[in-house]
Amino acid sequence: MDTFTLLNEIVSYCQTHADEVIVKKYARYFKDGQEGYNAYGLSTELIQAKLKELNSDETMTIGLLMETAPALLRSGKQEETFFVLLLVEKRLKKLTAEHFDEISRWFEYGITNWAQCDTLCAKIIPWFFIQKLVPLSRLKTWYTSSFRFQRRAIAVPLIKLLKTTNDYTPIFDLITPIMLDPERVVHQGLGWLLREAWKKQPDQTEKFLLLWKDKSARLIFQYATEKMSEEKRLCFKREKNKD
């Protein structure tokens, strides 16, 4: 199989099985339709069936996927992006440090909503750090990204790394530069990470939260304190005289 064949096979499959009913069903999970949700409307069963077929093809290499990924991501279609992500997930052991740079560029022409971002962050990005293919510090290059989902992707992959260490200082140091990020999607990602961190290391996490309770967006704290008791949550309420 070559890039042209793979691209056309996926696109044709999506077009053939498009279902507007499914599009409308899932569109409500994307805020005001402004988060890049543009779908054909394939059912989970149809996606899984095609993935099984494609994964059984011995010519489906990581090189082929990396070559084809830009065209599929640029389409803006939800399913085309998910085919890329899920096919790469099956080939994690073939990834190298150089692939991290390629995947970093995916935010330039794709990854336009939280579902795409979080799938990438859960299934692919952590692998580079867990396997020590690249240092965690590589995420620092994303601080100044003009793409809000790339900045969200600084925090969300760290969730999988929480169980690999008891010292969260490097994790908290890494997210410190984005604790004042203006974007809601970044706030959600940070809050999610901090909520999960609190479950495992409450003392460390609470100290970090106290540093930011009067500075960072309240949405971060809404997420981060979600599992705390009401009494505990009050400790992280912004002081009235603070902006």
Residues 107 and 158 in one domain: no
- The answer as to whether 121 is a domain residue is no
Residues 58 and 94 in one domain: yes
CB 142 within 8 A of CB 104: yes
Q: How far apart are CA 20 and CA 40, in angstroms?
A: 7
Residues 61 and 141 in one domain: no
Residues 40 and 140 in one domain: no
Residues 108 and 156 in one domain: no
Q: Return the pLDDT at 31.
A: 75
Residue 43 falls in which region: left (phi positive, over 0), alpha (psi -120 to 50) or beta = beta
Residues 72 and 149 in one domain: no
Whole-Å CA distances, 10 to 6, 21, 87: 6, 20, 12
Note down pLDDT in tens along the chain; length 243 residues.
899 999 999 999 999 999 999 999 999 888 755 567 899 999 999 999 999 999 999 999 999 999 999 999 999 899 999 999 999 999 999 999 999 999 999 999 999 999 999 999 999 999 999 999 999 999 999 999 999 999 999 999 999 999 999 999 999 999 999 999 999 999 999 999 999 999 999 999 999 999 999 999 999 999 999 999 999 999 998 887 655
Residues 92 and 178 in one domain: no
Residues 190 and 243 in one domain: yes
Q: Domain range spanning residue 230?
A: 135-243
Domain total for the chain? 2
CB 175 within 8 A of CB 190: yes
